[in-house]
Structure 1
Amino acid sequence: MRIALGALAALFIVGCQTQPTATLVTQCAEPRPQVCTMEYAPVCADLTSGGKKQYSSGCNACAHDSVSGYLNGECPE
């Protein structure tokens, strides 16, 4: 029984790793930031005119009026 439970647990863990993750867009709020720290945590911003652009952080992205929101992580190539 111990081997069967171990195998079941391994299948469960592998199954969890292959599930798609939810993507949450962070919306930029008013007032827009005027000063941001020099942190590098790349985000992929959604532009109000359409398209995407990568910024060094969410703060830097939302400092631009042309950005509506962003996803954490680099933009796909």
Structure 2
Amino acid sequence: MSQTANLRIAAIALTALLSACSALKDSDEGNTGFFQCKSPRPEMCTREYRPVCGHIDTRIESKVRCVTEPCPSGKHQTFGNSCSACANPAVMGYEEGSCESYGK
């Protein structure tokens, strides 16, 4: 095989690899608002910083429920990216951007 053919194959493989990486984002790309975490939950995430505001179900997060006073069933927390937010089993979903940007 010639060197030119090897370079073409390498270029095609690199293009396929890069497009596969960009396809890992949620299928809701282009939508704004709330993104629901999908199953299976991620076990490893990149350290890319694209902050999201995670919506946490406090009933899942804490094993103990208060009985004497009303307890909020949810809270918000900023995560470094959507993968790290959805890796937390108590997170129901997220909005892009930090919680502070939403006033939460």
Pairwise TM-score range, normalised by the shorter structure: 0.5 to 0.7
Cα distance in structure 2, aligned partners of 1:38 and 1:23: 23
**1:30 Cα deviation after fit:** 0.7
**1:23 Cα deviation after fit:** 4.6
Which of 33, 36, 41 does residue 50 from structure 2 map onto? 41
TM-score relative to the length of structure 2: 0.51
Deviations 1:28-70 (A, max 9, x none): 0110000111100000000012010010000000000010000
Question: What residue is the counterpart of 1:66 in the other structure?
Answer: 90
- Which residue identity does 2:44 align to in structure 1? V
Q: Where is the helix percentage greater, Structure 1 or Structure 2? A: 2
Question: What residue is the counterpart of 1:57 in the other structure?
Answer: 81
In the alignment, structure 2 segments of 5+ residues that lack a partner are 1-30, 59-73
CA root-mean-square deviation:
1.5
Question: What residue is the counterpart of 1:7 in the other structure?
Answer: none
Number of equivalenced pairs: 56
Q: What fraction of aligned residue pairs are identical, expressed as a percent?
A: 41
In the alignment, structure 1 segments of 5+ residues that lack a partner are 1-21
TM-score relative to the length of structure 1: 0.67
